[in-house]
Amino acid sequence: MAKLNDIAAIPIHPMALPKAEHAYQAPAILQQLLAMLGRLIEHDEPDSIDLRALPLTEADMQSLRELLGEGEVSGVVTTYGPSQVFETGYSGVWWVTHMNDDEEVIGEFIEVTYCPEILVSPQDDVREAREALRARLLQNQLDY
């Protein structure tokens, strides 16, 4: 038991995060993005990279974020937990982070598209909105 109590006395030296030199994957991903932009421009084919399916280090993610930078558009979609969306410094390259209600990341993607689908209003929603608005106006007319 005495041993157990001594555990707190054992010094803990936190290690520094892996340095930028550990970011081996970032350049490869940039190459992939370049090819994807080409396909978007020439064939109008959007595509995306699932960042969590790649063996990325903290340093990789950091350097990727720094290399891509932040562009003009950013926003949060609040449905089923928040999703952060921003356009990177390169137009057409979007960074999408999906989180659950506890704000844990459940999916992280780089999407190459003119506008990420999650930002676009779903057609069915728009139709329902028209109906809702109509009903609202009708209600108002009845009220007056």
Partner 1 sequence: MSEPDKSLFDLLAQRGVSRRGFLKFCATTASMLGLPPSMSSAVAEALTQAARRPSVIWLSFQECTGCTESLTRAYSPTIESLIFDAISLDYHHTLQAASGDAAEEARAQAMKANYGSYLLLVDGSIPLGEGGAYSTIAGHTNLSMLKEVAEGAAAVVSIGTCAAFGGLPMANPNPTGAVSVKDIVQDKPVMNVPGCPPIPNVIVGVVAHFLTFGALPELDALGRPKVFYGDTIHDRCYRRPFYDRGLFAKTFDDEGARNGWCLYELGCKGPTTYNACATLKWNGGTSFPIQSGHGCLGCSEPKFWDGGGFYTALSTPIQPVTGAAVTAALAGAAVGAAVAFGNQSTKGKAKAAHTKVTIDDLEKA
Nearer to partner 1, 100 or 138 (CB): 100
The least CB distance from residue 60 to partner 1, in Å, is: 8
At 74, is the secondary structure helix, strand, or coil? strand
Q: Which stretch binds partner 1 (CB under 8 A): 31-39, 48-56, 65-73, 133-141?
A: 48-56
54 binds partner 1 (CB under 8 A): yes
Q: In 8-140, where do the E strands start and end? A: 47-50, 74-78, 82-87, 93-99, 105-112
Nearer to partner 1, 30 or 61 (CB): 61
Phi, psi of 2 (to 5 degrees): -55, -40
The least CB distance from residue 119 to partner 1, in Å, is: 9
Residue pair 77/83 in contact by the 8 Å Cβ criterion:
yes
User: How far is 86 from 13, CA to CA, in rounded Å?
Assistant: 36
Nearer to partner 1, 91 or 100 (CB): 100
